[in-house]
Amino acid sequence: METVVFYIFAALAVAGALLVITHKNPVSSALSLVLTLFSTAVLFVLLLAHFVAAIQILVYAGAIMVLFLFTVMFLNLRPEALRFDARNMAFKVSVFLVVLLFTGYFAWMGFNKAFPGGGALSPSPEGFGTVEGVGRVLFTDYLLPFELTSVLILAAIIGVVAIAKRRES
Amino acid sequence: MSVSAEHYFVLSAILFVIGAYGVIARRNLIVVLMSLELMLNSANLAFVAFSRVHNDMTGQVFMIMSITVAAAEVAVGLALVVAVYAHRDTLDVDVLKILKG
């Protein structure tokens, strides 16, 4: 059962990602990205990270996607601005990346024989990935980084307002 | 045969490579930003998978931080997109190379 769900949503995630980079229209790309992000959220549930899955849907598929769609529709791009034009160099670089990533992955697997269980998933403790469990870690061990993210968001807000403000000159 | 952690790492690598290809190959600035989101999302998937392997929720906390960074990055990036489009009337990254030395 778990295997079937994994393969279905992994395939959906890859299909959505491929549609993002092949669609001509940015609106279709954004909607395909929602498919990928939603499938990833399902995989998070399979990994018993329920709180993180909820965050993924709320923040990524909700807020960030609305921001993308708003910008695309706000700009009202002309058709000639939408041509899809892959470059030859890009193909070579991405083939290189594929080879590098998978070589690195199998090298890591070789080094990893001492890893307990060889990547097999052991039963997790009570409360793993729930709001209570994640919240306990977030507000004790990682309180300072958590507070610093609020500074980051404040900086982003001020930066966005400064960039988007119309200059009178 | 049940799903092991390696399945998630391979999926994460595939999504990362697709995102990297989008960043390099696409010329529309908005789609480049979306591909960047794909790459961040694949890293998040690896974080959560490692968190599950070690049964340690630190990975999930990192993933929440990473989502915050992604949201801030998208907000600033799209503000730049709007400013660039108002200024240069194009989103083609091949045209937008005034910073090139």
Does the distance separating the beta carbons of A10 and B11 come in below 8 Å? yes
Q: Tell me, yes or no, whether A55 and A21 share the same domain.
A: yes
What are the pLDDT tens digits along chain A (169 aa)?
888 999 999 999 999 999 998 888 888 999 999 999 999 999 999 998 999 999 999 998 888 999 999 998 888 777 665 665 656 666 767 777 777 777 777 767 666 654 555 566 777 777 787 888 889 889 999 999 999 999 999 999 999 999 878 766 5
- Domain B5-88 of CATH type 1.10.287.3510: yes
Q: Tell me, yes or no, whether A53 and A104 share the same domain.
A: no
**Which chain B residues are closer than 8 Å to A86 by Cβ?**
25-26
- ipTM of the assembly? 0.89
Does the distance separating the beta carbons of A82 and B75 come in below 8 Å? no
Q: Tell me, yes or no, whether A104 and A38 share the same domain.
A: no
Is B17 a residue whose pLDDT tops 50? Answer: yes
* B38-51 average pLDDT score: 92
**Which chain B residues are closer than 8 Å to A77 by Cβ?**
91
> What is the DSSP secondary-structure string of chain A?
-HHHHHHHHHHHHHHHHHHHHH-SSHHHHHHHHHHHHHHHHHHHHHTT-HHHHHHIIIIIIIIIHHHHHHHHHHHT--GGGG-----HHHHHHHHHHHHHHHHHHHHHHHHGGGSGGGGPPPPPPTTTTSHHHHHHHHHHTTHHHHHHHHHHHHHHHHHHHHHHSPP--
Q: Tell me, yes or no, whether A64 and A20 share the same domain.
A: yes
Does the distance separating the beta carbons of A71 and B81 come in below 8 Å? yes
Tell me, yes or no, whether A121 lies in a domain.
no
- Is residue A40 within 8 A of residue B46, CB to CB? The reply is no
Provide the residue ranges of all domains of chain B, joining segments of one domain with +. 5-88
**Which chain A residues are closer than 8 Å to B40 by Cβ?**
none
Range of the domain at A93: 86-116
Q: Tell me, yes or no, whether A74 and A105 share the same domain.
A: no
Q: What is the pLDDT of chain B when averaged over all its residues?
A: 86
Condensed to tens digits (0 to 9), the pLDDT of residues B19-34 reads 888 888 888 889 999 9
Residue A51 contacts B where some CB pair is shorter than 8 Å: yes
Does the distance separating the beta carbons of B11 and A14 come in below 8 Å? yes
Q: Tell me, yes or no, whether A94 and A75 share the same domain.
A: no
Tell me, yes or no, whether A52 lies in a domain.
yes
- Chain A and chain B share a number of CB contacts under 8 A equal to 215
Q: Tell me, yes or no, whether A3 and A40 share the same domain.
A: yes
Does the distance separating the beta carbons of B26 and A21 come in below 8 Å? yes
Tell me the pLDDT band of B93, cut-offs 50, 70 and 90.
confident
Q: Tell me, yes or no, whether A4 and A76 share the same domain.
A: yes
Q: How many domains does chain A have?
A: 3
pLDDT at B54: 84
pLDDT at A114: 46
Cα–Cα nearest to B62, from B54, A123, A12 = B54
The Cα A96–Cα A75 span in angstroms is 35
Substitution target in A43, A47, A141 with the highest count of B β-carbons within 10 Å is A47
Tell me, yes or no, whether A168 lies in a domain.
yes
pLDDT at A80: 63
Q: Tell me, yes or no, whether A105 and A137 share the same domain.
A: no
Percent of chain B scored above 70 by pLDDT?
Answer: 96
Does the distance separating the beta carbons of B6 and A94 come in below 8 Å? no
How many angstroms separate the CA of residue A101 from the nearest CA in chain B?
Answer: 7
How many angstroms separate the CA of residue B27 from the nearest CA in chain A?
Answer: 7
Structure tokens at A21: 């980079």
Q: Tell me, yes or no, whether A41 and A96 share the same domain.
A: no
Q: Tell me, yes or no, whether A3 and A74 share the same domain.
A: yes
HSE-CB at A85 with a 13 A cutoff on CA atoms is 10
Does the distance separating the beta carbons of A10 and B7 come in below 8 Å? yes
* B68-90 average pLDDT score: 88
How many angstroms separate the CA of residue A164 from the nearest CA in chain B?
Answer: 6
Q: Tell me, yes or no, whether A109 and A140 share the same domain.
A: no
Tell me, yes or no, whether A48 lies in a domain.
yes
Does the distance separating the beta carbons of A129 and B30 come in below 8 Å? no
